[in-house]
Amino acid sequence: MYRLLIVDDEEMITDGLYETLSGQDLGLDLYKAYSGREALAWLHRTRVDIVLSDLRMPGIDGMRLLSLIKTNWPHCRIIFLTGYSDFDSVYQAIQTPGVHYLLKSEGYPKVISAVRQAIAELDESLRMANLIQQSKEKLNTLEVLARGNYFQHHLHGVRMPESLDEDFRKLGIPLDPSLPVFVALGDLSQDSQRPSYANRQEAALAVTLLAETFLSVQTRSLGMIDRFGDLVWLIQPRRALEDDSLTDDRAPTLPYLEGQFELIQQACTENLDYSVAVSLGDRACEWKTLSSVYEKIRRQRQLRIGDGAQLVQTVPLESGEPSCTVKDRSPREKSDALTALLDAGRRDDFFKLFDEMTSPDRELGAPHLVELYYTIALVLLSYVNRWELEDKVPGTAAFMRQEEHPSWAEAFAFLRTTADRLFELRRTGERNRAAEAIGKVRAYIDEHLAEDLSLVRLAGYTHFNPSYLSRLFKQECGFNLSEYIEAARIERAKTLLKQEERKVSEIGVLVGYEASQSFTRFFKKATGVTPQDYREAARQ
């Protein structure tokens, strides 16, 4: 879902555009700003895809916004709407790709048409056919694979050398070994069919290379594939992180990365038929803590809310992360694949591998079957212990007593049944956490009706990206988040209007409307009567 920001220093124009576009079936998240500085705050806070802005405003005007937008959000489309015939500014604006210009006198139909055109341009840009082709041409380059192999050792616990300069230089790694680095993990899935190993590897490499196009504007990045087949990105901003204030021309790094990963998700879905869920550390880490940060993000990903599709989740990291413990790692090297698939919740892939390992067609002697049984049993037992599931999984005490099973077939059937129970518990946990998270969102809304309840604000509260929160809320409740907020505000307003001690304008403020005219329009649209008429009817 694209996000559109309306910017005008005249409140009536801003509100009018907002109400008009809200009534169109455009599939947009709409936001309002009554000054260039307020618009800049939104642009520093989240990704914005379309900006509909007045050209002349006090302070930060439209041309200044154009400069900042093109620096931070190069994919954003801008529509300038003005009542002035300022030839120099107009000429400068229309020379910039992705910028449209309209006169206010042209009316709402022209505005709606321009917005639809901007949406079409965004859809086209996400297809990225030429980028996909470029990525596929680079799939077999030894450079990409060599970089990934180098970092795999360090991600999985091998101590980083004291100096990284020489390694980075020889491998052409585009990162600065003296600066901290953001870590992001991507979980690649395809719903339409089960991909082969080769196809999955090809898609993973295509995604990592495609992502460079989106991340390269403000960052240096390196994408790779870890030993579990998951995507990993190491990212550094091109400029220092110390100052994320509104006086800075660039957007803060974390919101920028969240926004770019959302665009990467859309491009992957449309071009590769794959969906990518992303878990992103909320701050940069030192190279010496890379392994522990990677492990924490990987483990936190297991606690995802809902199905995880199209999720961009920020993972809070404590400064000075401790190193990984032995318990956090898989008990045996040969069980890494099963461990990763169980941890990631990939049920079909897990059982495909399980069945291959335990196939009766394999010619294994008794010693090898004993080793295989206890290897798998340790994977399951480790998972049960880590997540404290002893009371929910029957027979865990029998994991280490293989001799009690009458045959090898029954022994492996017991392990398979136990694994299936673990996957079911995981699915139930995801559903329960989703319901709990949405319950907290609804409680937060009810307690903060007078405040900003934009999707971006609520997403920050839940640590989800806005698009995922919107989808999860509708999935759990059966209606849109915006509909719930409007209904809650209406009910609170009705309750307050039945009381005598407050003015109508004061009640508007208490339910989130600073301007009394906006509150009146909102209330009448929802109930068919003005707030004053409702109060008088309630008295009678």
Give pLDDT tens digits for 93-139.
Answer: 556 666 888 888 888 999 999 999 999 988 887 765 455 555 555 54
- Find all residues with CB under 8 Å of 504, minimum gap 6, and list them: 497, 516, 519, 520, 531, 532, 535
* Residue 96 confidence (pLDDT): 67
Report the C-alpha gap between 227 and 353 in whole angstroms.
16
* Residue 328 confidence (pLDDT): 39
**Residues 490-526 pLDDT 10s:** 999 999 999 878 899 999 999 998 888 889 998 999 9
Band (486; pLDDT cuts 50, 70, 90): very high
Sign, Cα dihedral of 235, 237, 240, 246: negative
Pick from 438, 446, 440: nearest CA to 495 = 446
Q: How many CB atoms lie within 10 A of CB 166?
A: 10
Does pLDDT of 248 surpass 50? no
* 28-32, 236-240, 461-465: which is most confident: 28-32
The CATH number of 130-328, from 3.40.630.30, 3.30.1520.10, 3.40.50.620, 3.30.70.270, is 3.30.70.270
Local structure of 10: helix, strand or coil = coil
Side-chain-side CA neighbours of residue 92 (13 Å): 11
To the question of domain 2-127 being in CATH 3.20.20.70, the answer is no
- Can you tell me the mean pLDDT for 246-269? 78
State the average pLDDT for the chain. Answer: 83
Band (195; pLDDT cuts 50, 70, 90): low
* Residue 161 confidence (pLDDT): 75
Band (361; pLDDT cuts 50, 70, 90): low
**Residues 76-89 pLDDT 10s:** 999 998 776 555 56
Does pLDDT of 90 surpass 80? no
**Residues 296-339 pLDDT 10s:** 898 887 777 777 778 899 999 875 444 444 333 333 445 777 88
Residue ranges in 129-175 assigned as alpha helix (H): 129-137, 142-155, 165-171
Does pLDDT of 244 surpass 60? no
Does pLDDT of 357 surpass 70? yes
Domain layout of the chain by residue ranges: 2-127, 130-328, 333-429, 448-539
Hey, which residues does 235 pair with through a beta bridge? 182, 221
Lowest mean pLDDT among 164-173, 362-371, 398-407: 362-371
Q: How many CB atoms lie within 10 A of CB 267?
A: 22
User: What single-letter amino acid sits at 416?
Assistant: R
Q: Taking the domain 448-539, which CATH number applies?
A: 1.10.10.60
* Residue 23 confidence (pLDDT): 87
* Residue 441 confidence (pLDDT): 95
Q: Of all helices (H) and strands (E), which one includes residue 252?
A: none
**Residues 3-61 pLDDT 10s:** 999 999 999 999 999 999 998 989 899 999 999 999 999 988 888 999 999 988 888 88
Check if the beta carbon of residue 379 is closer than 8 Å to that of residue 338.
Answer: yes
DSSP state of 321: P
231-237-241 Cα angle (round to 5): 125
Pick from 432, 330, 322: nearest CA to 381 = 330
* Residue 497 confidence (pLDDT): 93
Same fold, 130-328 and 448-539: no
**Residues 22-38 pLDDT 10s:** 989 898 999 999 999 99
**Residues 208-227 pLDDT 10s:** 878 888 888 789 999 888 87
Band (197; pLDDT cuts 50, 70, 90): low
- Can you tell me the mean pLDDT for 187-201? 67
Report the C-alpha gap between 459 and 440 in whole angstroms.
12
* Residue 331 confidence (pLDDT): 38
